[in-house]
A and B are shown apart, each in its own frame.
Chain A
Amino acid sequence: MTAGPADSFREYVHARLGTLVRAAFLLTGDSYLAEDLVQQTLAKVASRWEQIVADGNPDAYVRRVLYHQHVSWWRRWRREPLPVAAVPEAAGADPHGPTTTAIAVRQALARLAPRQRAVLVLRYFEDLTEAQTAQVLGVSTGTVKSQARDALARLRAVAPELADLQEVSK
């Protein structure tokens, strides 16, 4: 019967939903897109839930689906306008500067390629190592390094006020 796996799936969603939405929000930069991304991710996860549970590490699988789904969206819609809730403001256009660092980071992230954004979120939000990031994205460690370097450089280029943030590294 499906009662067992359905219940465990609902419990998992209940426990992890906030985390997933936050990561999706950082990836998409939009709350509605984040919600859609999480829904599609969880539907895919539900379609293979028994196998995922049997594999013993649902978080790794869910994370992988979320990030791949995001990159897949970008590939599909990069030539089409994305439906967003609000038109983002152009960084640097305001002579008074961004009111908060978070807004500046959000605007800067929106200008990154999806994989670069994914690398930053995985490395600096989810605290994964380069090897773990590479595993989630299905790329080599070298690619993760170069993507992170390029992403940080691009952040600095599109949002010079973030220069001090990027220079504080481990």
Chain B
Amino acid sequence: MTTTLHRVLVDLAGEAPSVRMPEDLWRRGRRLRWRRRAAGILACLLVSMTAMWLPSPNVTGSQFAGTDDRTLPAWAAQPYLWQQTFSEDPNGPAKLVFETGHSLDLDTSLVVVGRDDSFRLVYLDPGELMGSLSPDGRYLLGDNLVDLVTGQSRKLSPAVSSHWPAVWSPDSQSAVAVIGQDDVVPTTGPNGERINDSTRLDNIVIVSVPDGSLRVVHVAEADVFRAAFSPDGTRVAIAVGRDAQNKELLILDVATGAVQRAVSLGERQQIAGSAAWSPDGNRLILTFIEGCLTAPSCDGPTPDRPARQRFHLQQLDVDTGTVTDEAVRGLQDRPNLIAWRQGAPVLSVTNDADNSCAIVRLPAGQSPETLPLRAAGYGCPSYPRNALEQWTLDGPQLTPSPWQAQNWAYVVLGLIVLTGAALVVKLGRRWRRRSMTQRSRVAPEPPR
């Protein structure tokens, strides 16, 4: 130690004037403390807000707007409970949609899977049905007409009945739907007279997508309504009638509503589905129910296991009205013809007993081929018809990204991270305090 230098420094320090500290030193310190804390909170909020809005990998649909993944997945998993909602970040056009109970909504929710493989939730109102997906996957027509790309929802006036799913034209620019006119609940006046009409005829309308207008093309009882557009979109086949015993198939001119052909349908016959018109435009595919008509109430081998419905397909010659039965008989479950693939019809068949679903292709003269198209959730998923007919199948299984989350989930995550960080800081302070206490045993007091 340079002892002389020490003595000189002590002498020099002795020249330091005596000073008085201001009385508000403590308050200045407190103000400094609050400013520091406010800055810390502000910084945390800024970081959280930035993290919330920054696009993370595989999160938003917008960054995939230009992708053209033309493969349908073999499986789509359930969404996360905190999955981003469609209204907050539309992700259309859709690759598929399906219903699920796996959401924080108490009712059934709809899952929209975009072409970028993003998942979005649509919370349905109680009793609201999924609606019909347009062939190009851009629109969903239910209680409202929803543009899945922009997220715009147009309320139709008057509203179409979602009880009868709308059927889309091949160009996705119009759809045929029903405006129910029946008074479902019988009402009587003060003298007991009936003041409503449960037999009022329903309006069959064409919904125009560009302007949302409705045009009535036919008026009839629509209790057994089903429809299918011709491949060129100029004609539409509809099944109308009060009940299964009084069912009629009409082929209408879409532009004028003129009935071009009327064919009576039997109790067991029905238009096979929204894609029932064959690609060549000459045939209309019907389903013919075999055996018991009303599955799952049909008697099965045991009381707790009802019999499965059976059916086969028929071909109706549009020009002559003649009906020909297909050779393959005894197909199981409730069918819906949804597309044509490689010249053969593709049907979704639902087992009403357990609500399970399979999508099968029926090549002529061959056994049914089950297609690798499945999704979690209830019943059959809906695929755009164009995708079913043209895209590659058996794509990789799709699982949602947990980062495609609603904003509140980021807030919760931020709070968890902040709590963890605070815990780490607290433990760090405790550790430093302990080490400083140990060091202070050897540190000298400053000179007085």
Interface string of B284-326 (1 = CB under 8 A from A): 0000000000000000000000000000000000000000000
Nearest-CB distance from A134 to chain B (Å)?
Answer: 12
Contact A47 to B5, CB < 8 A, known contacts A23-B13, A42-B25: no
Considering the chains assembled together, what is the distance between the CA atoms of A142 and B444 in angstroms? 21
A46 in the interface, Cβ–Cβ < 8 Å?
yes
**How many residues of chain B get a CB closer than 8 Å to chain A's CBs?**
41
A54, B433: Cα distance in complex, Å: 8
User: Does A84 make an interface contact (CB < 8 A)?
Assistant: no
Expressed in whole angstroms, the minimum distance between the Cβ of B287 and any Cβ of chain A is: 78
Q: Does B36 contact A (CB under 8 A)?
A: yes
Within 8 A of B (CB), among A29-46: 31, 34-35, 38-39, 42-46
Within the complex, the shortest CB–CB distance from B61 to chain A, in Å, comes to 47
B15-A39 in contact (CB<8A): no
Instruction: Say yes or no: A39 contacts B4, CB within 8 Å.
Output: no
CA distance A59 to B446 in the complex (A): 7
B400 to chain A, nearest CB (A): 44
Q: How far is the CB of A128 from chain B (nearest CB, A)?
A: 7
- B184 in the interface (beta carbon within 8 A): no
Task: Assess A124 versus B2: contact at CB under 8 Å? Given A19-B447, A46-B28, A105-B12.
Answer: yes
Determine whether B32 belongs to the interface, using a CB cutoff of 8 Å to chain A: yes
Contact A55 B433 (CB under 8 A): yes
Q: Contact between B29 and A45 (Cβ–Cβ < 8 Å)?
A: yes
Distance (Å) between the CB of B429 and the closest chain A CB?
A: 7
Q: In the complex, are the beta carbons of B2 and A168 less than 8 A apart? A: yes
For B436, the chain A residues whose CB sits under 8 A away are: 55-57, 60
**B18 interface residue per 8 A CB criterion:** yes
Q: A38-B19, A55-B433, A57-B440 are in contact. Are A105 and B8 (CB under 8 A)?
A: yes
A101 located at the interface, meaning its Cβ lies under 8 Å from any Cβ of chain B in the complex: yes
CB distance from A23 to the nearest CB of B (A): 7
Question: A102–B447 contact, CB under 8 A?
Answer: no
Please measure, in the bound complex, the distance between the C-alpha atom of A25 and the C-alpha atom of B122, giving whole angstroms: 70
**A168–B7 CA distance with the chains assembled, in angstroms:** 12
**3 nearest A-B residue pairs (beta carbon):** A46-B29, A25-B16, A22-B13
